[in-house]
Amino acid sequence: MSPRPAGGARRCRHRGCRRRPREPPEQLRFVPTHEDLTMDVAALRRMVEEDRAAGRTPFCVVANVGTTRSAAVDPLPEIAEVCREHDLWMHGDGAFGAAAAIVPEGREALRGIEELDSLSIDPHKWWFQPFEIGGLLVKDTGHLRDMFRLVPDYLADLDADEGEVNFYDHGFQTTRSFRALKLWMSLKTFGADSFRAAVRGGLERAERLAARIAAEPGWTVESGPRLATLTFRYTGTDAASEGDLNALNRALADHVMASNRVGLHTTGIHGRTVMRICTINPRTTPEDEDTVLDVLRESLAATLTAAAGAATVGTPADATAVTPADATARTPADATARTPADVTGRA
């Protein structure tokens, strides 16, 4: 058989790596992750070697540069070492997290980002742009030109020299809109320092909220804070199983959302249902942070009260309250008195 190309992506990945079919094609390999959701580099190295031994030709590794779920950042320097050893292209999915590189604290969290051959980023996320604008950064633009440049006869007179940029030489689209205009205008209007201050503010808010949530009785921070993101859940209950604990936290999040005061969604980490907060909105105030804690406390009290009420229904005491006399008191007439309307009316 002829060699088949194979690419690698980590198991906690951007959904763009896996659309259809539902099962990954043989050319795409998912690399296991550690408990902290970062790529297992030893497993990556082993999988590359296995692919080569099987006659495949690995060519690209996709590393995460701040995941949406938990802001996990893969060990980029170690992955780069494997890529150099095996002559692999190293791409970074920085759609959300790469924006933090504009401040020193973010660059420290993204250590090794300079090793990437290419990096994707969505300025409509942490650079506060209107939807939609995506970006691709490459170390060597010649790779894009070599891949996409095609000059039909009718464009021969307009063909640019090497020093001129024609974006149709760098992608699929011959005609495209000026999506970058809004980012350029934002930088010209507000200045890069305003962007840096906004990104730094998001990092600081996540630190404060994580500390406050961890100090609340029964609450556990599951991941972060990193890159303005943290996940957490309530664990201060005698839940019978992990499933019961997950259901409790889903109910908690539902109650928070129903308040219309805080937007809080759940996600999953190693089978655990957790709540996720991303603090990148630069308009968030200290009063908003207080509101988050207030709503969490109120929702917890209401959810635990509802759970306790549900638990008392159908207890052994309730069951024994039905005596033989009560049972025999129900006649056939009583039984037929329940109409379909009565049955469907029960919540």
SS3 for 243? Answer: helix
Q: What is the 3-state secondary structure (H, E, C) of 35-51?
A: CCCCECHHHHHHHHHHH
Write down how long the chain is. Answer: 347
Alpha helices in 149-241, H assignment, sequence order: 181-190, 192-215
Burial 252-267 (b: 16+ CB within 10 A, else e): bbebbbeeeebebebb
In this prediction, residue 133 carries a pLDDT of 92
- Token pair listed for 344: 């469907």
- Token pair listed for 55: 């006659």
DSSP summary character for residue 130: P
Which is nearest to 106 in space by CA: 233, 189, 223, 197?
Answer: 197
Residue pair 60/7 in contact (Cβ under 8 Å)? The answer is yes
Q: Side by side, which strands form the sheet with 219-226? A: 219-226, 229-234, 272-278, 265-269
Q: Side by side, which strands form the sheet with 118-121? A: 28-31, 4-10, 56-64, 89-93, 118-121, 135-138
Q: What is the CA radius of gyration of the chain?
A: 27
In this prediction, residue 148 carries a pLDDT of 85
pLDDT tens per residue across all 347 residues of the chain: 234 555 655 554 444 454 445 555 778 999 999 999 999 999 999 999 999 999 999 999 999 999 999 999 999 999 999 999 999 999 999 999 999 999 999 999 999 999 999 999 999 999 999 988 999 999 998 888 888 888 888 877 777 666 777 888 888 887 888 889 999 999 999 999 999 999 999 999 999 999 999 999 999 999 999 999 999 999 998 877 999 999 999 999 999 999 999 999 999 999 999 999 999 999 999 999 999 999 999 999 999 999 888 766 655 544 444 443 444 444 444 434 333 333 333 33
Q: Which helix (H) or strand (E) holds 58?
A: strand 56-64
Q: How much is the pTM?
A: 0.80
In this prediction, residue 164 carries a pLDDT of 77
CA 7 to chain centre: 21
d(C-alpha 47, C-alpha 104), whole Å: 34
Residue pair 205/289 in contact (Cβ under 8 Å)? The answer is yes
**How big, in percent rounded to 5, are the helix, strand and coil portions of the chain?**
45, 20, 35
